[in-house]
């Protein structure tokens, strides 16, 4: 399984500093190594980065071209669609103190950039990943038909990068889930942190896991 990373777009889409994204990628690859220890011989985890196939400058240039096209038709979208796209942007984009009074403009730019990214207008035959023969792509619910839609985990569609992972107890079973901020607030009184020993000690934040008691 190839985890294909398009992280070079994240700062443009969500205003998340590149150094934070780089740290995420580093830790993600370290986690792949950890999980690989538990795989059978016929399964392998690897990660591929879009940066190996196109420069960030060129990718953003293609993205911005699509953004301007979408900007021209934004006001023609149904009101409920615009509101949904802006709400989604608010969940992901970073707002800083100096942005006061500019929030709506920032949300719009993020929404347009996200739609431009999802359109894959930045991809062409020069990017092998986009046209690999016999590839079986798996994506999340925001993809537009090019991939098999897979939830963030078995019981949640919340974006894992803005949510809190937990195990929900159901009888004798534990079901993985991802909680939004509101969902977390609703159940935090039922959460108990359980220590685990699955990961190396260097993964400080993975030495315990939230359990939602039934």
Residue 39 CB neighbours (<10 A)? 11
pLDDT at 131: 61
Closest CA to 2 of 126, 87, 90, 129: 129
Residue 50 CB neighbours (<10 A)? 20
pLDDT at 180: 85
**Spatial contact of 60 and 11, defined as CB atoms under 8 Å apart:** no
pLDDT at 19: 93
Q: Where are the chain's structural domains?
A: 2-149, 160-212
Q: What are phi and psi of 101, to 5 degrees?
A: 90, -15
**Spatial contact of 191 and 182, defined as CB atoms under 8 Å apart:** no
**Spatial contact of 161 and 178, defined as CB atoms under 8 Å apart:** no
**Spatial contact of 62 and 121, defined as CB atoms under 8 Å apart:** yes
Q: Give every strand in the sheet of 173-179, ordered side by side.
A: 173-179, 164-170, 208-212, 191-195
Q: Which residues pair with 166 in a beta bridge?
A: 177
Q: In sequence order, what E strands does 60-157 have?
A: 138-139, 148-149
pLDDT at 92: 84
Closest CA to 111 of 122, 101, 119: 119
Q: How far apart are the first and last CA of the chain?
A: 34
Walking along the chain (214 residues) 10 residues at a time, the average pLDDT comes out as 88 92 90 91 91 92 96 97 94 91 96 91 77 68 63 74 86 90 91 90 88 89
Q: In sequence order, what E strands does 116-180 have?
A: 138-139, 148-149, 164-170, 173-179
């Amino acid at each position: 399984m190839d985890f294909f990373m398009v992280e070079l777009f994240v700062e443009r889409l969500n205003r998340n500093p590149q150094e934070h994204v780089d740290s995420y990628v580093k830790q993600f690859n370290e986690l792949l190594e950890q999980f690989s220890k538990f795989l059978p011989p016929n399964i392998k985890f690897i990660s591929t980065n879009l940066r190996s196939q196109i420069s960030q400058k060129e990718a953003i240039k293609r993205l911005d071209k699509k953004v301007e096209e979408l900007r021209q038709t934004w006001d023609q979208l149904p009101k409920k669609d615009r509101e949904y796209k802006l709400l989604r942007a608010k969940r992901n984009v970073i707002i800083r103190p100096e942005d006061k009074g500019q929030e709506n403009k920032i949300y719009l730019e993020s929404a347009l950039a996200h739609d431009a990214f999802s359109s894959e207008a930045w991809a062409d035959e020069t990017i092998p990943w986009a046209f690999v023969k016999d590839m079986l792509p798996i994506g999340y619910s925001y993809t537009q038909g090019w991939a098999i839609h897979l939830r963030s985990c078995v019981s949640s569609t919340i974006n894992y990068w803005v949510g809190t992972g937990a195990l929900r107890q159901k009888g004798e079973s534990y079901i993985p889930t991802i909680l939004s901020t509101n969902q977390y607030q609703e159940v935090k009184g039922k959460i108990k942190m359980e220590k685990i020993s699955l990961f190396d000690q260097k993964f400080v934040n993975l030495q315990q896991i939230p359990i939602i008691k039934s």
